[in-house]
Amino acid sequence: MSKMRVISVQLPQGLINAMDQLVRKGVYPNRSEVIREAIRELLKKELYQLETEERSTPDYIMK
């Protein structure tokens, strides 16, 4: 895994409570992993949508 950097974000208490619930239930080991997974999924979705709209071949598909 690449070196991680620390960033600061502000979240509504409701999102924090929901993350804590996932951690308590053992779905994720900690809040950071919840946030990382959510960001990964958002980026995949958004980048795929942009690539589809541009009708280009995504970089991850070999030509």
pLDDT at 38 over 80: yes
pLDDT of amino acid 5: 94
In the 8-state DSSP scheme, what is residue 3?
P
Between 13-24 and 31-54, two packed helices, what is the crossing angle to 10 degrees?
Answer: 110
pTM value is 0.75
Average pLDDT of 31-54?
A: 90
